Structure formats: C-alpha cells, structure tokens
C-alpha cells in the first residue's frame, strides 16, 4: 500500500489525491509538511466557491488567471507548510470533541474487537517503523529526502463573506483562505492534493486543466519554485 506509493513517487511518479485519499498526505515519507483535518460546522453541498490561484508560476497553473471558481462539497481540509493542523491518529480525526461509541472515557481509544488498532495498522504499513522514526530522521521511506516545503497552488479567498458564488454555504470561515490545491515534492516525484473533487461530472470542467497541466509537466513540476533557503541560514566560513 503506502510503501508502493512511496516507491512510485520517489522514483519520479505523480500521485493525485482527493477525497478520503487525502488522509495519505500526512503518512510518513509522503507529503511532508501537509496535514488534514475534518471541518467543524461547515455545510457545503454542490456549492460554487471563489478561489484564487496563489502560485501562477507553477506548471500546474499554466494558462490560468488569478481568479478561479471551485465546485465544492464539504470534505477534508488541507494545511501546507512546515507546521499544519497535525493529525489525530491514522484517521485524522483529532479535532473531535466527543466519542462515537460513548464507551469508556475520553482517554480510552475506541477499537473494534475484530480489528487491529489504527496505530498497529499504520506501523505494519510502514514496515514496523513509526511516524516518529521518520520525523526524527528528516527523510522519507527508503531514505528519500522529504523535499522542499509544499507549494499552495490554489486557495479559497481569504474573506468568508466573499466565498459564496452559488449554492448553500454555512460555516464558511472554516475554509476561508485554506488551500485547495497543494503540490508536495517527494524524492524525484510529486503528490498533488485537492481539497475539492476535481472530477465531478462536468461541473468541475474549470479544474480539468489543473490535472492535465500536472500530467503533461510531471517531470518539471518544481519549475518556478522559490530557491530553498541555505540550511541553518549561515554563509560560508573563513572566506571559503
């Protein structure tokens, strides 16, 4: 599963994820610097939302103007950078305040008796290692570098009152300014993450070229990115 995806991407492949598959993003060694969480109080069903192309230099955005309309239905939210939302375990539900089963206290995890725990399943998929092992090493699976910070290609407009173009939207503050499309480099390849389904019938035709651009330029998706800062921010010593 995760091991084969990591091998594919680090070898130069392009992985496109959206919907529930976004939970792969925080998996150790994949999309470093990207995290997900479930929205709170957000209700959008087939809603057209205002967004903006925040990185016009990315090959993913070739041919686009700064303004973009997104056909959106409530789903996992993305965060990109060297921080982020973090994950509440394998399922990314760290923001939940209560318990789904009502059994035990808040500190006792819910575990189906016929199923291994999320932590055990994740550890098995990583070859017996843990998330902390990869975080401490600063490298992905198989020794691949985690890569530069992810690029936010498209994000929702920052003002909640400006989001709605058409349809139902309540709790818009949850998505205001949040990433819609993120490009995370891993090894020689890239992971392109969509917070909105880009393939919903013909309703999302305005986003089709984002995937086409990524596929056509998958070997050069780092074009137009800002140079990485020197490690430690130090110059050369002794006039070297």
Q: 3-state class of 141 per DSSP?
A: helix
pLDDT of 66 > 60? The answer is: yes
pLDDT of 163 > 70? The answer is: yes
Mean per-residue pLDDT for 54-69? 95
Task: Provide the percentage of residues in the chain whose pLDDT is more than 70.
Answer: 65
224 exposed, middle or buried (CB, 10 Å; 0-12, 13-18, 19+)? middle
pLDDT digits (tens, 9 = 90+) for 86-97: 443 333 333 334
pLDDT of 2 > 60? The answer is: yes
pLDDT of 169 > 80? The answer is: yes
Closest alpha carbon to 178 in 16, 40, 31: 40
Most confident of 27-41, 77-91, 141-155, 181-195: 181-195
Rounded Cα distance, 237 and 240, in Å: 6
Selected residue with higher pLDDT from 188 and 226: 188
State CA 47 to chain mean position distance: 21
Mean per-residue pLDDT for 37-64? 94
Rounded Cα distance, 90 and 1, in Å: 14
Q: Which pLDDT does position 144 carry in this prediction?
A: 45
- pTM of this structure: 0.70
Rounded Cα distance, 36 and 26, in Å: 7
Stretch among 24-28, 65-69, 208-212, 227-231 having the lowest mean pLDDT = 227-231
Report the chain's C-alpha Rg in angstroms.
Answer: 19
């Amino acid at each position: 599963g995760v091991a084969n995806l990591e091998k594919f991407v680090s070898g130069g492949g392009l992985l496109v994820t959206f919907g529930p598959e976004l939970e792969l993003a925080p998996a150790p060694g994949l999309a470093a610097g990207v995290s997900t969480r479930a929205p709170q109080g957000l209700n959008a069903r087939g809603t057209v939302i205002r967004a903006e192309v925040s990185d016009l230099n990315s090959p993913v955005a070739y041919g686009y103007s700064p303004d973009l309309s997104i056909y959106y239905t409530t789903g996992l939210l993305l965060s990109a950078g060297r921080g982020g939302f973090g994950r509440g375990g394998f399922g990314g539900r760290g923001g939940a305040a209560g318990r789904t089963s009502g059994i035990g206290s808040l500190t006792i995890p819910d575990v189906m008796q016929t199923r291994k725990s999320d932590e055990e399943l994740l550890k098995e998929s990583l070859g017996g290692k843990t998330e902390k092992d990869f975080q401490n090493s600063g490298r992905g699976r198989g020794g691949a570098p985690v890569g530069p910070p992810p690029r936010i290609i498209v994000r929702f407009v920052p003002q909640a009152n400006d989001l709605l173009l058409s349809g139902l939207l309540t709790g818009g503050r949850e998505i205001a300014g949040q990433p819609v499309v993120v490009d995370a480099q891993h090894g020689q390849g890239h992971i392109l993450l969509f917070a909105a389904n880009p393939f919903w019938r013909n309703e999302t035709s305005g986003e089709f070229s984002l995937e086409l651009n990524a596929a056509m330029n998958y070997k050069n998706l780092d074009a137009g990115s800002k140079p990485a800062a020197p490690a430690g921010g130090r110059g050369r010593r002794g006039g070297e």
